[in-house]
A and B are shown apart, each in its own frame.
Chain A
Amino acid sequence: MKGRDNVVWLGSPTFPEAARTALADTQLRHNLRKATGTIRDKRLRVTAELDDWEQLREAGASLKRETLRHLDQHLLRLEESVTAAGGTVHWAHDADEANRIVTELVLATGQREVVKVKSMATQEIALNEALAAAGIEAYETDLAELIVQLADDRPSHILVPAIHRNRTEIREIFLRDMQRFGRPAPGNLTDSPADLAEAARLHLREKFLRAKVAVSGANFAAADTGTVVVVESEGNGRMCLTLPETLITVMGIEKVLPAFSDLEVFLQLLPRSSTGERMNPYTSMWTGVTEGDGPQDFHLVLLDNGRTATLADTVGREALACIRCSACLNVCPVYERTGGHAYGSVYPGPIGAVLTPQLVGAEHAATLPFASTLCGACYDACPVKIDIPEILVHLRAQVVDAKRHRPSAELLAMKVAGRVLSSPRLLALGQRAGALGGRVLGRRGQIGRLPGPLHHWSASRDTPVPPQESTRAWWRRTR
């Protein structure tokens, strides 16, 4: 097994236990309800502006799927383009290897501190801890990451890791903890968001101005040109990507896109789905190194860490299409009530419930696939149409299978089917998945096929029957 990464926090309580604790925390529930409610409204407003939103989702989904189908070729092309543009590409099989590569690159510069742009991949591999063990300080520069780092807390949301904190708590953290990391917060700090943002600006300014090494993640990388993309809001990304001499980007292998022009789809889908804006304030794109502008030493670390194992699962692989927008978290009734920490992983919420067990093996996160009511809101919100409920049902069967030590797929399928028929929610899922995939529940008397193989994966699959809206889908839509 892999060592000390953050995909699951060892020693965390299981989801049901953690959820019970979280449900009792009324402040937490209030913070979450307020934040997710705000973002849900904004997202609906800006997605409704585009009359071809469904076509964009379809394009995003098919692009991601087609890329994953030939992932090896796209990665090789990316490597070639980045190298030709003056960058260096590294491959990391697991978290330990990625951490070792980054640590050695930093040590080679002679520097002992790095500035970081928010990145799920480096969270996942626990890079900060690995750097600290080598005597290197890593400063998070994204506002929410800063809040989490100052408070020695854990992230609870993939886009806004401090979503569980309200403005009053953030003020207290700034006043108490900023001084330990550098410039203290102004003594007269109020809890107005503008004041808090100003305090973060002042605190991080000195770090940006002296930074020689930056570590970033990547939202996308275009294989044909070698262009790497970071989407952000605050300008901390631009600071990290522009001012230092050395830039090290850690990117999951599933982030590659075939072509620069494919960004035309994702630059429409991502901002509208994540922060509910027509466009996020800043997007940076760079191709290798540019003389006289920005870092002259660029390293791209391509990270596997469980992704190829996920890719091997014909149903679960769909989760690799995720662009980390966080829309599924914001619409999830379970997430809204329990918060992110209950999932015990850097990847919380619906996407975490399907990604975490796959990255670490279902036996290490056995309760996560059950952390859902299968209401389908996540699927409806997902800009790349990942059928999260379908994957959840599939993973549940795996967990049951592992527990009973009875590897009979047939038997399991029957058990799942039995549960489906006895549970109105599962039945709803079955009807919806059936309508979408053209694999109507019980159409051939084969209830056991549910949830079915990934219906849109194979190139040679039949054209799906146009969906007919089930009563339950209608109910959800008009509620």
Chain B
Amino acid sequence: MVEANPLNSRERVLSDIRAALSDVSDASAPVQRGYARSHAGQDIAGLFASRVADYQATVVRATLAELPGAIAQALEGRRVIVPPGFPPEWLPDGDWPADEPPLTVAELDAADGVISTAAVAIAVTGTIVLDAGPGQGRRALTLLPDYHLCVVRAGQIAGDVPEALERLDPVRPLTFISGPSATSDIELDRVEGVHGPRTLHVIIVNDL
């Protein structure tokens, strides 16, 4: 048994809160939402591309027809893990490692990299959001390999954070990625490359 008397602490905390708030009326105080829904201008895909590049990630723009070539070029021969549901026609010919049956952490750690799609992207902040949906796979796939190539459809790019959250389903596990892993812990200056993928490559498909 984890806790001898869980109800007691729960009731105690709740009643302490109520006692602490005895001076507060029940009415709701209005939340002031005078902020903008978006800080993006007209060229959302262009803004996304430049903001991702600001994080030292590589960004390429391609049409759907050019996509397989752009992917092959970006991979430079890496054998990347392909999550379930990733469109096979986008990949160069070959036998790609899959996550079926699920790869072990050691196998993920040893992989050349991973390729994935995304759920949503955010232009103003240069962020990719993964929700473990088709083409993305479970979270560990895009975490342990040191190289991540992410294919983002232009239509998936939201202007800003509020619009992006509206498109997401909070029930799914969500990972917001803004550039390669980094730290500001040494003299508060940003250095790229700690535990997450140290190389982030983004291809924006203009006509999807």
Contact = CB atoms under 8 A, between A and B. Distances in A.
Chain B binds chain A = yes
Given A56-B35, A167-B186, A167-B187, A284 B195 contact: no
Contacts of A55: 32, 34-36
B21 A71 contact: yes
Contact of B166 (A39, A261, A317): A261
Contacts of A412: none
A309 B20 contact: yes
Nearest to B10: A91
Given A225-B170, A279-B125, A209 B109 contact: yes
B28 A242 contact: no
Nearest to A57: B35
Interface stretch (B69-77, B89-97, B172-180): B172-180
Interface in A201-260: 201, 204-205, 208-209, 222, 225, 227, 233-236, 238-239, 242-243, 253, 260
A123 interface: no
Contact of A59 (B31, B39, B171, B188): B31
16 contacts: A35-B187, A56-B35, A59-B34, A72-B17, A93-B12, A193-B183, A209-B105, A227-B170, A235-B143, A278-B125, A278-B178, A282-B196, A308-B13, A309-B20, A458-B23, A459-B24
A108 B17 contact: no
A167 B35 CA distance: 40
Interface in A26-81: 31, 34-36, 38-39, 49-52, 55-56, 58-59, 62-63, 65-66, 69-72, 75-76
Given A147-B185, A194-B191, A97 B139 contact: no
Nearest to A167: B186
A458 B192 CA distance: 46
B76 to A, nearest CB: 22
A38 B189 contact: yes
A235 B185 contact: no
Interface of A: 31, 34-36, 38-39, 49-52, 55-56, 58-59, 62-63, 65-66, 69-72, 75-76, 85, 90-93, 97, 100-101, 104-105, 108, 141-144, 147, 160, 162-163, 166-167, 170, 193-194, 196-198, 200-201, 204-205, 208-209, 222, 225, 227, 233-236, 238-239, 242-243, 253, 260-261, 263-265, 267-268, 271, 275, 277-287, 290, 292-294, 302, 304, 308-309, 311-312, 314, 317, 457-460
B138 interface: yes
Nearest to A118: B185
B181 interface: yes
Interface string B2-29: 1100100110111011111101110111
Contact of B175 (A264, A265, A283): A283
Nearest to A66: B29
B3 A90 contact: yes
A100 B166 CA distance: 39
B106 A52 contact: no
Contacts, number: 271
Contacts of B105: 209, 243
Interface residues of B, number: 77
Nearest to A200: B194
Nearest to A40: B188
A143 B162 contact: no
Given A71-B21, A163-B188, A253-B17, A278 B51 contact: yes
Given A66-B31, A279-B176, A108 B2 contact: yes
Chain B interface, DSSP helix/strand/loop, else mixed: loop
Given A198-B193, A204-B195, A52 B179 contact: no
A223 to B, nearest CB: 12
B135 interface: no
Contact of A101 (B2, B16, B23): B2
Nearest to A310: B20
A294 B17 contact: no
A38 B194 CA distance: 20
